[in-house]
Structure 1
């Protein structure tokens, strides 16, 4: 009896934890409302000053419901200073407050008689207090006793109210402030001459819900006082569980971030000896495990039986039973996907526990990507959820104007992982979320991603494109002077370099920047990786950083746009890479090793590290922000819009950066246009040091030999690196030649759609990429130099810098174009076999290059013989009706190779 009583007591304890886990699993974050005037119909009664400023009135909202609002419109008289103060608001333990304001604003230009002081902004303030002590005079009505939160401007203004009196063109803004230290606070809205209506005010704060995670329970925890704060919460092991023994300070901990989400778990609990937990693993591939946080009493001699009965849930499920020895893991086969089961664990006719198991909905979609955009539509794509948990039937996309309330969102359904959203407004920023649906139901929405429609015209095709493109010969001379000046400043000359008028200034620049001779040190050589971080990267106080928007995703976390402001210095824009929660020690080391590498470099053509955040969570790497993003996508969006001089200027900057890195005995190993970043002034900087390795300076040609099987970018990698994993500065020169080809072809994919094995084969046969259309001959010859099979025959980066510098100072060398050259390497024909001479007619040639669809075009134009076809220009190809850019390039490259073969067949005059 005593034994059974003990088992029964433990059963009750286990069931209690089970129900708590089921409840808290449904709640991801909590938003507690402190004040909400939405839908108020009776008098709100806030304090105004002066009395003829703000007025409380009843109006119809955008859904024709009667609500209370505050209005002010004293625009005819200058010097307005109208204040509106809320009641005292108790903070209820909150550390940071969020204020959501819904308002409408009259367009000043729409009013016939208006003073020059008419405004379209208002200011939000807060004042902390231990008690409700405010009066008509106190706090005084000016900044000082009031702390300014922000000046808020309207994104949308209206010219008149419609005939029904309904307010139009609503604006929704969210602002936050903290940390709060007193019992409560007031809010105040100051008007300085606007005509506006304050429609609704919501005041709230975030907190992380009580949760059971890793066999430990954590209490409800309030978010911190700063947006980037992480509040640590200590957990308690569930009954019959204990902390795992790990090196470091004891205690099971979770961290609550600024949006009320749990993250960064430290240590965990496990069941004590003699206790365990049931774990059900379904045979269905797309189903998930059932996890019980409670630790149940387990006696090895006892035989446990599992009884399973299906419940009524679509699709129809058939009943089944199973039994066996509980280990405590038990594999149940024959279960049907998308069915709900009741599972009972019994022993000697005693029901230890009974619970419901269900096949879960899909997990969240991890990321969205912008495919294209215009002034009124955006096309997005996204990957499948990491855990689809079934067959994805369709996706639901939700979107809304960033300036509007989420309640005004729209949705559309797509059967594929791509959708085009139409009827958007030009130049607007929209928030997007997507979720997947299976037969079980909808998964959770993804995090918000923000994308902006273009303003209009080609110049606004990029969100942050502030680059004034130089067009017309009238500005050619100015462009040359600017690029030449930037390029020369970017070069690090050695003593062997021919002296120029800029040499003295460059030497002063080098001395002032401290760019003396030094060598790169591999962070992995440090016994403690944190020591490398401390030596090469500056720690930044997380309070100096403001994360404003997520702009991308990486393997270990997100890439964000934000601002950095050191005390006493100006605020400036930065890029922030964050490390996602739940990372391993290995991921931590790999994530921060890139910062340890970047921190050793200081050059105008290498991405600059601002610092790191390692003493709080999430961990961050902060770098300079490059407005135009990666070079390959930037060039594809700006195809044909740059002069040859501008393109050469970009190449010179990249070469200068690589010259600097090679002087430090550093090999990049992944040099490609995708890993070059471009700022708003067209300055290119080398980035992405994930594949970099230290070169031992123990030989004249130091190398790094990686482990066989490591992934390398075949299309950009030198033959010896592909075959023997032998990476040197010479192999980086080969990669630089591919970058040159990418730049001159405006981001074309090297070797087009050939397979990696085909690329290896044709390079081994001494075939090389042909010159891109309109590529100067000298540039293609320099590419061919970079692609010499023998490493010793390739130029050094110093020589490449010198050659490009001469081209910029003598641009006449860039005028000659063509394919003629005396090099042994022959241009590569895309998808054309090496036995080209065996082709007998134009139709066979079109079949060989997979352009058979254009046979009729060539026949109608009379293009039958190879002699005529080989002399075709891009204009000729366009004239016969071939409009796709990729197909035009494919045919043009093929005709160039055809011309080479025909020239080889011509008799030589004696």
Structure 2
């Protein structure tokens, strides 16, 4: 039959093996003679339908289905496959056909009824229906036509692939309908496409069935290979053609691992990787230790460090060596020299080299720091140039200047007990004799006297010989032919000249004498005039009036410039509640009406009186909450002046970290100071109420605000003198503002100036030692107080020096004792505290430096992770196992009371485990836990606690 119509030919079945990523559901060639396909009609009589024909080709046997009824009309021959199980996810399958179709023209007389095409059908089913066959259950897929027709002389094998889509049932059948062709099915192959399992960008994606027409892209989630991580779940898309495309999300090797052939392997010894990335491991930088495999970072070698601002992955550096070639060059100006040096030979691998200059003055065998006796230009610390000008030096003294080299790691090196690198130079300073007169001025005058004084350079020293002066004067009268001179030799730089003529001008000349009273220094001449007799009394009265007017105008202009209100009462006070220190009144300022309503809400007791909360109403402004500070009854006039002087000082300030003055009520029986209202009150109490609730960054942010306010005061030439956490106010935004300026004083427009007091109270625990000993207050003494405030903040309002008496505090400070680091205090913050507590005030940082350092810490939160060493026994005033008299604690209640945790007494009597005693605040829990650490040596106490 069919075989007789084909010429002999050869073809390779390797041509029909698909090379795409597929999963085969049916392969006619692989089934051999066990196809078992169903032909229909089952009984055709003499007609022949589809037949199985065995062929041998190239030594291999294969089977084909053939049909060739070209001479019979109305052919309807069906060939159905066996039941084909479908993959649950394969809704789309491909049917690959290889077949031969005979040219109808090659049949004599049959070309009119011969066909050269056949049809492909499919039918879905959830189970095998066996030999049951119904044409109505089949759906046509396509009409298959050959690309090339086989003739008598040449055979052509056609390959066609059709898609069967939207399959949804458990399986399906394929059927081939012959309608009168002479053809043979050589191969039928049914398959679906998959995207093969793969590893891409360190993400593993499983084998995935390709989507169908309704889902051209299938999203597939992957997992990172071992030791790799991804910020987002890695995803990829499988196309309908079985190809991967468009990956989203990338896996990266963990710190300490790098990518090697789709895996993450540990960094080799001597290499490191600090973070998850696609980068490879890097060799350990200079001056670091060679770590084992899988290193995240390379720590510094002994003697080398990283500064707080250095990246943890960078090289380590050492402190610089000493400056070279230090010389002191005297200048032409008296008491002045130039220190010059060369940079250190070894910079330690850093470029941020700075220099600090120290001075010692020696008289005989006694040496002491120069302190503020000398001046440096541009300064004595953090110099970037290798020279400094020194002035205000005294004669006949040995001066030793020490220049230290510093860099970003010098502080860390000093913590490791490595002294700073320094160079010294000693110079004996002598001045030309005699000293020079610099200024002469009139101190006072009447109608018959003139009081004069003058300055000399260099200044005479008490231990040196007394400098003598020659003062010459005469009447300034050009009409006289003769001039009478009066010459005086004086031992001091001032004189009062008596018995002078009223209303007369006199010419004065003063010179300093040499050691033998023969050599003379430069001259200084000035002219001064006595008062006339008639105007002396009038001048006194006028002078007093002018002074008062100037003072009034000055205060008025200054208050206008700083925009604070002076309230004048136009109504009598109205009592509010039982305690009269509150008023409800209308006040007037420059023609505008203000209303100040005082609420009966005392929230603070101050030195002068109580502080109330109130409401200030003003035209064109919203009602604002204010704090109203009152003066307690029975005050003296001096107390009233001191009370109002605080307001006059506050009125000059305008800074976000300084409490803002709203106004003052003066023309009233009870004077009042009105300021902005700070909701959270005093900082020390607020921190105690929220013990352990703030992070180190939040606490440092509070300190930064306080430091900024103090920098503003220092720049304004003011010394606060009472800086403490109790005098810092906090609002709802945790913004801290400096307040309580009752002890503040101006430093005569010189930030480096000194204010000296002869009496009054001093807050010992917050005051610098030189201010306690000599009552000399400077911005440097405020820096000391700021260090105590830092300790209070980091200790959540703990009392400085605990229960030590003021005498014990002063004794401990003089013996170089400093407060220990509070619990969980960052090391960098505690180091700044210690800098604020340096004995030599010239070495303490300035508030500008403090603000800059706190800003750096806030910009680098990782710098706050290193915690300073904490000794709980010191922090709770050892011996913690004893009371104030040194005897052991007799009960748990007594011990808890000593550490201010008595509220947990009942909890301890019920619980036996510190985790279950009901302490919830982290700060309280730490204080109790660390206190217990101090009790380890007292067995009896431990048995009471049962912990």
Global fold match (TM > 0.5)? no
Point out the structure with the larger helix share: 1
Q: TM-score, normalised by structure 1?
A: 0.35
Q: Which has the larger radius of gyration?
A: 2
Point out the structure with the larger strand share: 2
Q: TM-score, normalised by structure 2?
A: 0.33
Return the structure number with greater relative CO, CA threshold 8 A, min gap 6: 1
